[in-house]
Amino acid sequence: LPALKNNQIVFASFNNSTKVTENVVATWSQILKQVPGSHLLLKSKQLGDESAQRRYFEIFAGNGVPADRVTIMSHVSSRQSHLDLYNQIDIALDPFPYNGTTTSCEALWMGVPIITLCGERHVSRVGTSILSRLGLTELIAENESDYIGKAVQLAGDMERLRELRASLRQRMQDSPLCDENGFARSVETAYREMWAGNWKLETGNLKFESGDAESHYKMGNALRDQGRSEEAIECYKKAVELNPNYAEAYNNMGNMFKECSNTGEAIACYGKAIEINPKYVQAYNNLGIVLEAQERIDEAIVFYREALKIDPRYAQAYSNLVPQLQQTCDWKEYGELTSKLDALTDIALKNGDKAVEDPFTSLTRCADPARNFAIAASWVKAVINPISSLRMNFSFDERITSESKITVGYLSKDFRNHPVSHLMLNVFGLHRRDEFNVFCYSYGQDDKSGYRERITQDCDKFTDIRRMGHADAAKCIYADGVDILIDLMGFTGGSRLGICALRPAPIQATYLGFPGTTGADFFDYIITDSIVTPENHAAYYSEKFVCMPHCFQVNDNTQAISDKEWKPADFGLPQDGFVFCSFNQAYKIEPVMFDVWMDILRQVPGSILWLAHASETVKRNLRLEAHARGVMPERLVFAERLPLKADHLARHRLADLALDTRIY
């Protein structure tokens, strides 16, 4: 130990002299004065000039430290000679706010402990990072006074100095600081993620540590935000492999399985998350969502209520429970719950946060266009934020379409047996091919239906982008030269507005799937008509109106209608009596319009109301509501689901008058 050999403590700093400011000298002077007989060795190639040395001696003298207690050196003959100097040193002093880097590691490698001051910036936290990796946080000071105190204390502890001298090199060798192979693997992982465009989390940064469950979890979240569900699942699997009790990873993995339409795996993941943490409200809520997708509505409601039992202010559970009460026509608590949902939504909008209620549910129960717009706009932020780090830099400057065909791209999950495809079935093939190319981009499963087959045949190019992330899908659309991209989803189930947010086409519009504004500035237009969107509603839309000269809604005029001659008795209808009907989904039926319908039935003796196929829960609830309004429950007749749409259309012949719903 140099201190015992020389009978004095030798402090040192071999850092670039530009880091050794007057404030640093003042602090080091206090240390020298509090450690009797101690000495300071400064070495820097910038100190070869006599005037530089003289200046430092003067600064030390001004702080009460005579020149004989400070040695200044400029250069030594070799690197080995440089390292040998550490054999004369007891304690290294780190400058601040600009810490040493290589110099600090050299000192530690040679068995010399270093005192550092933790600052606020990168340059002033390097010493803290190095010492933390060695488990030597005792040498990290919080302020200048603490820095002086730690240096003085260590100078008086010969036993600790001896221990550090003997162990520091081994500490270095055993630490991540010298794990070059581990660093190479970690940085390779980082490079791959940079290249994939996923170097992003909510904070804008991604910390990746090999073998760390949390890092795999965060990587999964980053991949999730980019729409790369299958890759995210692999990260979550790795996270739970490393930490089998990682409830959050199971929950998020369930979300990704749900996105991939693997509901069985999703349910299993949520169940595991709840098993690990029985108070995990998000998992109860998500389990409700996936059960809802399987039309297991009653079970879904149970889990939403369980989430609210655990946390009565859990907003998402309200947002999910209310639509299911609509779907089951359960109006007993509807008013109370919607009031709570509205209050939570108001708070979120006031704070500039994402609304609790989703835009689609808002349209089904709220006829205020300003509120619908505000809710949609708040959700758009949630679409844009996760992809804000993806800079596609698509350029359309060289794309000239004035003398060439216009390429129209249709984007949807619902190129299948779905109402959107029912309505638009013929449109794809009716575009004039001398003027237009028609491309379709699908991120929904192939249901092998005639609708899917027909659309695939009728467009010029049909691309399945289900396995592509948002960025890759956008690149695909851009590479295809799409001039006008038409989104057919809006905020309906499973939509991927993140693709449109990346602006892969110079003109983007929304149509048909979502009956309202998206609130998004990345859509230029909405295809509509002057009745569904009067001119004075323009203030409630982010998109410009492109009004069709007649009705905005196209219909398939070639639909097959069965020639079966149904009889009223085939569907439980009376032989005589006026038949009102409404084959809308149950969530569109709400108390105000149901009051009107029941009033109609009371005023038309012998009439019945024929409603769409419904669950036993819906049947029970609506019959109770009818009875409460003075209408015999048997005057409500529920249709059975028929396998063929042609048969369903044919049975309309048995109805006399259709009754439309009110808000939606």
Name the amino acid, one letter, at 183: F
pLDDT in tens, 26-44: 999 999 999 999 999 999 9
Rounded CA-CA distance 515/37 in Å is 84
Banded model confidence at residue 189, pLDDT cuts 50, 70, 90: low
Quote the Cα angle for 619-623-624, to 5°: 120
Q: What is the pLDDT of residue 49?
A: 83
**Structure token digits, residue 401:** 């379409």
Average pLDDT of the residues in 129-133:
92
Q: What is the pLDDT of residue 403?
A: 63
Rounded CA-CA distance 91/8 in Å is 11
551: Cβ–Cβ under 8 A, 6 or more apart, which residues?
529, 531
Average pLDDT of the residues in 491-505:
94
pLDDT in tens, 432-487: 998 899 999 999 999 999 999 999 999 999 999 998 989 999 999 999 999 999 99
Banded model confidence at residue 79, pLDDT cuts 50, 70, 90: confident
DSSP string, 188-218: HHHHHHHHTT----TTS-----TT-HHHHHH
Handedness of CA 269, 381, 495, 339 (dihedral sign): positive
Q: What is the pLDDT of residue 210?
A: 55
Rounded CA-CA distance 461/433 in Å is 13
Q: Which pairs from 508-513 meet CB under 8 Å and 24+ separation?
A: 508/484, 509/484, 509/485, 509/543, 509/546, 510/486, 510/543, 511/486, 511/487, 511/552, 512/420, 512/423, 512/424, 512/488, 512/552, 512/553, 512/554, 513/412, 513/414, 513/420, 513/487, 513/488, 513/489
Query: Burial of 644 by CB count in 10 Å (0-12 exposed, 13-18 middle, 19+ buried)?
Result: exposed
Is the Cβ–Cβ distance between 494 and 444 less than 8 Å?
A: yes
Q: Which 3-state string (H, E, C) describes 248-291?
A: HHHHHHHHHHHHCCCHHHHHHHHHHHHHHCCCCHHHHHHHHHHH
On the question of pLDDT at 81 being above 50, the answer is: yes
Tell me the percentage of the chain whose pLDDT exceeds 90: 82
Is the Cβ–Cβ distance between 653 and 625 less than 8 Å?
A: no
Banded model confidence at residue 202, pLDDT cuts 50, 70, 90: very low
Rounded CA-CA distance 153/167 in Å is 19
Higher confidence at residue 50 or residue 542? Answer: 542
Of 142-151, 380-389, 413-422, 477-486, the range with the lowest mean pLDDT is 380-389
Average pLDDT of the residues in 152-158:
96
Residue 220's Cβ-side half-sphere holds a number of Cα atoms within 13 Å equal to 26
On the question of pLDDT at 490 being above 50, the answer is: yes
**Structure token digits, residue 222:** 């980053």
pLDDT in tens, 252-289: 999 999 989 899 999 999 999 999 999 999 999 999 99
Banded model confidence at residue 611, pLDDT cuts 50, 70, 90: very high
Q: What is the pLDDT of residue 271?
A: 97
Among candidate residues 572, 577, 579, 561, the one with its CA nearest the CA of residue 654: 579
Query: Burial of 74 by CB count in 10 Å (0-12 exposed, 13-18 middle, 19+ buried)?
Result: middle
Average pLDDT of the residues in 201-226:
70
Banded model confidence at residue 201, pLDDT cuts 50, 70, 90: very low
Residue 545's φ and ψ, nearest 5 degrees, are: -80, 130
Banded model confidence at residue 199, pLDDT cuts 50, 70, 90: very low
3-state DSSP call for residue 484?
strand
Q: What is the pLDDT of residue 400?
A: 58
Banded model confidence at residue 121, pLDDT cuts 50, 70, 90: confident
**Structure token digits, residue 447:** 């249901």
Of 183-187, 218-222, 266-270, 412-416, the range with the lowest mean pLDDT is 183-187
Q: What is the pLDDT of residue 50?
A: 86
pLDDT in tens, 627-645: 999 999 999 999 999 999 9
Tell me the percentage of the chain whose pLDDT exceeds 70: 95
Rounded CA-CA distance 583/586 in Å is 9
Q: What is the pLDDT of residue 398?
A: 75
Is the Cβ–Cβ distance between 468 and 478 less than 8 Å?
A: no
Domains and CATH numbers, the chain: 2-178 (3.40.50.2000), 202-386 (1.25.40.10), 406-547 (3.40.50.11380), 568-658 (3.40.50.2000)
Rounded CA-CA distance 12/86 in Å is 9
Handedness of CA 538, 541, 546, 547 (dihedral sign): negative
Is the Cβ–Cβ distance between 554 and 424 less than 8 Å?
A: yes
Looking at every residue in the chain, the average pLDDT score rounds to 92
Higher confidence at residue 200 or residue 329? Answer: 329
Is residue 376 within a helix (H) or strand (E), and if so which, with residue range? helix 369-384
Q: Which pairs from 378-385 meet CB under 8 Å and 24+ separation?
A: 378/348, 378/349, 378/352, 378/353, 378/354, 378/519, 379/354, 379/355, 379/491, 379/519, 380/497, 380/501, 380/518, 380/519, 380/520, 380/521, 381/354, 382/354, 383/497, 383/498, 383/501, 383/520, 384/498, 384/501
Q: What is the pLDDT of residue 188?
A: 66
On the question of pLDDT at 90 being above 60, the answer is: yes
On the question of pLDDT at 200 being above 50, the answer is: no
